[in-house]
Structure 1
């Protein structure tokens, strides 16, 4: 007796003054009219049954359903906890079970990281350890409200979450990544925010696993863990988050199966311990809410305890709700025996039944309505829900090392990049995302890599300046385990010690302690778990598409401490995300663009296309449609190359001229004669570049230069083209056509001697842009293509943008079948005849690119001349060149760029009607359109090969596909603003 009194005194001393300050929200209903009325209808045993919740599954078939229905109809159980299945089946079953029950059933689920924890076809949000790295607790509140919406949409009312255990044992096999971490303050803040989000959305929650399951190395599913800490330690650490979340009004607490001698020396599991539940939780901590057992089928409580009897003991200990009772009739009978024996009163049972009923009223079950099954998967997987998942993964990214500011990676043109994915045997989403930023060679190292495999790879990696390594998991759950072969681990260590090593870690952070020298990596990013979203955002971080401010939620041996993490806020390149992240409606954007493209392809306006949309520096739409041609089955891929045709003007000529303008080497009041001496005595000698670039220089629109190579009978003039290449005929037109070396000069001469038009009005002309490479070369002493590569495409990471692509043909989309000049299909070389006669390099046509790489250049324009942490052009220059030069005339053009074209009635027909007057862009003969709107920071790229198989196909124009899609972008912005 003396020892017991001493124990109770110590408990009171340690835990006094911690009563709950905000009451659980349902308590106000314990004596409501509805609860009173229900209680009068229940027999004593039915009141006991309200305290019982059995396990239900939506993937176990008819026999299981009948078992549940029998328990509902015969035993009058109070609730169900759902486990594995799918959302539609779960809703159907819950509706059936509710219909069969005389009283509405309380539905629960373990949805610690969302309903994806249990149900397929749904979102799994980041694990709690991942969330422990997030610095904005408001995001946890948002998560709570969204999880509540999804749980309620599936017909349930109670979430057995959050986990508030402080995980200070790296070897904890059951909590670990399910905890917010080892910092009790962080755990308390995160758990409270998550709880408040759920309960504010009318979903009841339970803090678990009381009194703290974080410092165990035994899984209570299989045995009873023992915690041997003294009371003072338990009070200051394990119990701290529980006290804090109780103060904020959490509705429930789940009790763990633990043996804690300092709290109960009898050795019984805490679930069955009256000193722990009644003495500590209820009396000392003052908790009045719902007390729930952990699952009553777990070995931690069932070992040595008989079903039914163990449930009775849990009730005697002070629990209100029994989760996963295995023998319901026996449990009710045993509790009845306890009442008859005076171990517990019927009044106490009634009080607990009232709690259950009060919860049911609080969640709305007093006005129960069946839950609709229709559209449930779509309604669960909303764009906003997916965006929240991505935002949380981004916010968790933790940079542990950034030596010499290696991140984000820069000087792309000077470095050779390789990536190595450890633990994978095929290209990963991480590696595919890296490809969006720079040229990259990829390698994989399987878990069981042999010494021979590793040795070969080691030699290959010597050829690269920067190696980006990814450490992948072999499970969807980030456990503290590492299964790599010794050879693979040795290579990881070697790479970590190299000067320019970057690592992305997709495993439990505790595993860092199992890898030698990993802490020496120049760049080290922890993403905490291994899924597609984590891989994508980590790759974006490495190249500056997203920032990072996550902090490590646990310590990693002596290598890193909880709270470590470097801020990397600068976002210097395009990111890749969902439309809602940029204020656009994804449903409208996707459905309407898909519809317009399907019509275009069905009507044979174009065989296929690439479309990219970016807003606020975020790529929110990037799709490939259709096939390369009408005659094959090669589907268009997002990295295929298209002939940009006249978009070359603003993607090659204009960046070069604007840069020279910044450097004082090109003046807008200058003339061709200033750069090309042969034009000094021509009729074009005095025409200023302002007129030339706005197409009002009185130039002829074009000359079909290629026709001068033909005789009247259609054969080639002997001095122009030969079948074989030679020093005199070096310019390749096709494999059987080589043009005379002097022919480009003949083209220049023809332009020089061409007559001028009578009136100075807008007439679109290619002439200057054909000459532009010579103008640029006159001031740079470099060939045009090299100048662009060195000053723009290379530094931008725009690997595919360039002339005369070296990519294999299956990566290049074909254009026209040329029956007139080349007499073969055009595939892999420029479509424009004049450009191919200039060796494929011209300022009016000749560029090839995919949409993603072209976007880097165009986004640089929208950024005011900056991209990737580098300034390419002055903002003032871009503003000058992209505004209408002669606004008081009928000439809409900017300097080299096209502008909106309203007709006499004010109707715009070359862009979206809602495009701003500040917007600018260009189109291309092959079916290209690019447009930038600085007022909306909106970028639109449409790449197609409408000229396949013939340029006479004008359906893309008659359908107005490009501009109709352009308008969809503005509609999507308006729709999101009003949603």
Structure 2
């Protein structure tokens, strides 16, 4: 196998027609000072055409797929990872998976991640294994969706950024994220989430959304598209045509959106329209049904009226359409044969096929469909052309290997951490302070941190303790038992202040969190409730006189929370969503935009 740089030279020779004598610079150098792409550096059609002409049908089909691989190195893996690769793909190593299917891209998950240097080395190895350079992707939205943890700078998440109401913060967060991912050899991120979350019981989007206001979400989405581009990573707006009003998680079922077409145009469409105006490279489809857009009630990912009719024709998007993971139940429950969804998705207008349920069946199913004229090779060529054009446009076809010796100096930098900390400090939202409890005086009043999350309660207790206030942690879990609640009450009797962390206490099986909070309130102690994910928690804990929302349980969010608790910073975040009453038909408890200050 030739080295990465040598292979790049070989590839460059194959696409010489239409290319300038100098190699196309990497994306980080492809932009003007305003983040826009100079006209003269648009991808060359002749180069892509020549590359496509030299590809076999199998290679073309492989370019359509983004696959998962097991291991933390392209060629050297543990026996456990080798066994997993064998079960799923019939080969032992990630490099062999790339070669077997001629993959167009790979996606990293937590199991691929060791250290920054390791991940950059793996990215180099995967690119070295590929005949055509890969999209190396990840799902790193920030907040509750982050496949790569520390020492990468961790973001507070979209709802937290929405709570700041400043598009500049969305831009900065995306650029920081993009620069650090780029340092690891990652060139594509499945972010930002462009959904408008108007359903308090949405089980899959929630705090992944910037909020409930289409204008706010549009502004934040546009800003993140710019930030990702300037940082060197391809952004992907998701989940078209909009996943913000669902009560079903498409990982486990098939949601139905009952919006009329006019409602869709008003609520769901604007952020995607804004992303397209910002020249977004990719848009991800959703596994849901929208009868107003497709009366046949086909899944949006597989719907020609939605992908081609709405996204391509009505919105004028000519970039890459990527499916959400095809192995999700939103697809597989309706189409258990893994060979069917890829064909339907391509015929519907998709270009990139993410994570099929069975790679062999999906690849061979698409190949067979072409041979049987169920899908034309011309249609395959259209999608491959879009993908290759994007790879050239973003410098992927001409990229050089990552210098792994510099990686640790580019991720988790003091400058990046400070920038994200400042954003997060302005996101923490004080929803209720009826008793005037906050800010706490640094008087050393002993504090118990209890509730959801082993790491969350321990970390928050340590941060409080570091301020000179003695603090203990007692996690009671997602569904505290009577024994755990009784233990929390006993422990509370030895402390003056109780901080309770909650996590969706309205969900079936988790409502005993309400019992815990109400029991602690009855002790007469000072009780502070913190929704460490959803601000909607307060609707089910209305007796609590003090409530804050952090929108995530990341370390940076807990640090900002602690600053607010002790008055080191004044809470300036405002709710990005309305908090409805837990009682049907009653007025909303708090409107979007609500937030108290000191």
Tell me whether the two structures share a fold, i.e. TM-score over 0.5: yes
Cα drift, residue 250 of structure 1 = 1.1
Deviation, structure 1 residue 551: 0.8
Residue of structure 1 equivalent to 2:136: 107
Which residue of the partner structure matches residue 399 of structure 1?
Answer: 430
User: 3-state DSSP class of the match of 2:215?
Assistant: helix
Aligned to 1:419: 447
Q: Of 204, 212, 216, which aligns to 2:246?
A: 216
8 Å CA contact 1:27, 1:289 repeated in 2: no
State how far apart, in whole Å, the 1-side matches of 2:414 and 2:122 are: 27
Matched, 1:166 2:192: no
Greater relative contact order (Cα 8 A, min sep 6): structure 1 or 2?
2
SS in 1 for 2:155: coil
Consecutive unaligned residues in structure 2, runs of 5 or more: 1-34, 73-79, 86-90, 581-587
Pick one of 310, 315, 331 that aligns with 1:301.
Answer: 331
Instruction: Determine helix, strand or coil for the equivalent of 2:99.
Output: helix
Matches within 5 A, 1:70-81: 70-81=96-107
| Residue 482 (structure 1) shift | 4.3
> For the structure 1 residues 26 and 42, does the alpha-carbon distance in structure 2 shift closer, same or farther, using more than 3 Å as the test?
farther
By how many angstroms is 1:252 displaced? 0.9
Equivalence map 1:555-634=2 (5 Å): 555-557=578-580, 558-568=588-598
Cα 1:456/1:339, change in 2 over 3 Å: closer
CA distance in 2, matches of 1:230, 1:532: 41
Please report how far the alpha carbon of residue 68 of structure 1 lies from its aligned counterpart in structure 2 after TM superposition. Answer: 4.1
Instruction: Tell me the equivalent position of 1:506.
Output: 532
Structure 1 gaps of 5+ residues are: 1-21, 569-979
Question: Is 1:61 matched with 2:87?
Answer: no
- TM (norm. structure 1) is 0.50
Which residue in the other structure is 2:47 paired with?
34
**What pairs up with 1:144-159 in 2 under 5 angstroms?**
144-159=174-189
Which residue of the partner structure matches residue 471 of structure 1?
A: 500
Deviation of 1:106 (Å) = 1.8
How far apart are residue 74 of structure 1 and its match?
A: 3.9
1:359 to 366, 384, 390: 390
Distance 1:142 1:35, change over 3 A: same
Give the structure with higher Rg (CA).
1
Q: CA RMSD in A?
A: 3.4
Deviations 1:137-171 (A, max 9, x none): 21211111111112212212111111111122222
Aligned-pair CA distance for 1:249 = 1.4
**Separation in 2, partners of 1:126, 1:433:** 17
8 Å CA contact 1:26–1:358 kept in 2: the answer is no
The equivalent residue for 1:382 is 413
Give the TM-score, by structure 2 length: 0.79
Aligned to 1:430: 460
Q: Which moved more, 1:396-405 or 1:386-395?
A: 396-405
- Where 2:204 maps in the other structure, the secondary structure is coil
CA 30–311 in structure 1, closer or farther in 2 if over 3 Å, else same: farther
**Cα distance in 1 for residues equivalent to 2:316 and 2:592:** 32
Mapped contact 1:253–1:290 kept (Cα < 8 A): yes
2:211 paired residue among 154, 166, 181: 181
Aligned-partner SS, 2:426: helix
Residue 97 of structure 1, CA deviation: 2.5
Q: 1:83 aligns with which of 104, 109, 114?
A: 109
1:572-615 Cα distance to aligned partner (Å, 9 max, x none) = xxxxxxxxxxxxxxxxxxxxxxxxxxxxxxxxxxxxxxxxxxxx
The structure-2 alpha-carbon separation of the partners of 1:204 and 1:437, relative to structure 1 and needing over 3 Å to count, comes to closer
1:525 corresponds in structure 2 to: 548
Q: What SS does structure 2 have at the residue aligned with 1:392?
A: helix
Give the C-alpha shift of residue 254 in structure 1.
0.3
Q: How many residues align?
A: 533
Q: CA deviation at 1:479?
A: 8.4
Give CA-to-partner distance per residue, 1:555-586, whole Å, 9 cap, x none. Answer: 22232222111244xxxxxxxxxxxxxxxxxx
Q: Does 1:290 align with 2:320?
A: yes
Aligned-pair distance for 1:81?
Answer: 1.7
Equivalent pair of 2:449/2:474 in contact (CA under 8 Å): yes
* Superposition map of 1:201-240 within 5 A: 201-240=231-270
Q: 2:558 aligns with which of 535, 547, 550?
A: 535
Distance 2:370 2:461 in 1: 64
- Alpha-carbon distance in 2 for matches of 1:348, 1:455: 65
Aligned partner of residue 165 in structure 2, secondary structure:
coil
Residue 472 of structure 1 aligns to a residue whose secondary structure is strand
Matching of residue 554 in structure 1 with residue 577 in structure 2: yes
Q: Secondary structure at the match of 2:142?
A: coil
Measured after TM superposition, the shift of residue 35 of structure 1 is: 1.7
1:240-259, aligned counterparts within 5 Å? 240-259=270-289
Q: Distance in 2 between matches of 1:208 and 1:325?
A: 18
C-alpha distance in 1 between matches for 2:303 and 2:414: 46
Tell me what 2:347 maps to: 316
Matched, 1:52 2:52: no
1:417 is displaced (CA, Å) by 3.4
Q: Distance in 1 between matches of 2:450 and 2:499?
A: 6
Secondary structure at the counterpart of residue 92 of structure 1: helix
Contact 1:107 1:157 in 2 (8 A): yes
| Offset, 1:32 | 3.4
User: Residue 128 of structure 1 contacts residue 178 of structure 1 at CA under 8 Å; is this kept in 2?
Assistant: yes
